[in-house]
Structures are given as C-alpha cells and as structure tokens.
C-alpha cells in the first residue's frame, strides 16, 4: 500500500474561536499551491485510488483541488481520523479499513499528521505515539507537504517527501517557456 499524506495548503490565520476555525477555507495562495502540486503529480503520473480527508473545510478543499486535477473522479471520503483532535488509534483503524487500496491519499492537519507519520516510520516499543518525547521519528510537514510512504507490514518506509518549496521549483521549471526562436535569414 502506498500512502500519500498531505498536509492541507495555506488557509490564512488561525481563528481564536474553534467553531469558526473549523470552517476556515484555503486562501488564494493555498488554492494556487494545490493546482501547482497537482501539476507536479500529473508530471509524475500519480493516480489515487481513494482520497480521504479531514472533515474541516481547508482539508476538503485541498483534497478536492488536488484530487480533481489529478483525475480522481470518485467521492472524497471524510474521516474524523484525520481531524486535528484525532488519535493514533483512530488513524491506524482508518489504515486497516483502507488496506486493500493501492494508492491512498490522506489529507489532514498538524501536529497529528507529523506524529502519525513518525509512528508509522518508527513505531514505539511501548505502543502508539502520544507525543514527541517517546522515540518516534520526527518528520517536518509544512503546509502543503506531501509524503509518500510504503506500508505493508512492520514499519513504513518513506519513499519521498515533497516540500512546498520543491513543488514550486518543479512547477516553475516544468512550465517555463523557452525563448522564441527567430531566424535572421
């Protein structure tokens, strides 16, 4: 199973009221970045068999933009296992439920996505991760970062991590126009 873990794109400033913050949409930069990421993923010929998102608006928008632009036509599943307050046990159950899916895109939030990725890469001997102090691998996921993990059994293997800076550079080089050719004859 290939698990693609995507942290939602830029959504502006966090709102102090949690009820209002849950409805915070992507900002203009976040939407533009999602389209750039999708362009890069298309160049890599990536296709997703299933897309699962946190139920919060910014994650659903990220999943929808990236999924649609990469050719994903099925319905995006919402899962509380990817919400900001989700536990590793809920996340692990989601992975078990999706075990038959070959290419799975999960869209969620930090800090729990960082803990989940770290727990998959280096499971703690005493059980699932609850904080950064128990020997779990630390992975930095900026907004819009996409990690590809290969997960069959045992610890997962990180195949690659696309940081937003890398995505922007890849997008810029793939869309750069060459100078027009002129003939002096």
pLDDT digits (tens, 9 = 90+) for 122-180: 876 545 545 444 567 788 889 999 999 998 877 889 999 999 999 999 998 887 655 55
Tell me the CA distances in angstroms from 80 to 19, 22, 52, 85, 167, one per residue in order.
15, 13, 10, 8, 28
What is the spatial order of strands in the sheet that 50-53 belongs to?
Answer: 77-78, 50-53, 103-108, 2-7, 146-150, 157-162
44, pLDDT greater than 90: yes
Domain boundaries, the chain: 2-8+21-173
Q: Where are the beta strands (DSSP E) in the chain?
A: 2-7, 50-53, 77-78, 103-108, 146-150, 157-162
Rounded CA separation 96/52 (Å): 13
91 token code pair: 């996340």
Decide: 107 and 68 in contact? Cβ < 8 Å: no
User: How high is the pLDDT of residue 25?
Assistant: 87
- The span from the CA of 176 to the CA of 32, in Å, is 17
* CB half-sphere exposure, 149, CA atoms < 13 A: 27
Q: Find out if CATH 3.40.50.1240 is the number for domain 2-8+21-173.
A: yes
Under 8 Å between Cβ of 106 and 55: no
Higher pLDDT, 181 or 103: 103
* Mean pLDDT, residues 20-30 taken together: 85
Looking at every residue in the chain, the average pLDDT score rounds to 86
């Amino acid at each position: 199973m290939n698990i693609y873990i995507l942290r939602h794109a830029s959504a502006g400033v966090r709102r102090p009221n949690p009820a209002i913050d849950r409805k915070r949409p992507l900002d203009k930069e976040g939407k533009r970045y999602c389209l750039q990421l999708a362009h890069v993923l298309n160049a890599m010929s990536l296709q997703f068999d299933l897309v699962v998102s946190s139920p919060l608006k910014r994650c659903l928008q990220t999943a929808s933009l990236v999924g649609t632009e990469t050719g994903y036509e099925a319905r995006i599943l919402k899962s509380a296992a990817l919400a900001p307050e989700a536990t590793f046990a809920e996340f692990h159950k989601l992975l078990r439920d999706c075990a038959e899916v070959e290419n799975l895109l999960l869209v969620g939030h930090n800090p729990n996505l960082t803990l989940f990725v770290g727990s998959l890469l280096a499971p703690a001997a005493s059980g699932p991760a609850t904080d950064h102090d128990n020997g779990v691998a630390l992975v930095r996921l900026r907004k819009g970062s996409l990690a590809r993990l290969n997960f069959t059994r045992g610890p997962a293997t990180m195949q690659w991590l696309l940081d937003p800076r890398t995505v922007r550079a890849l997008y810029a080089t793939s869309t750069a126009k060459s100078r027009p050719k002129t003939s002096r004859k």
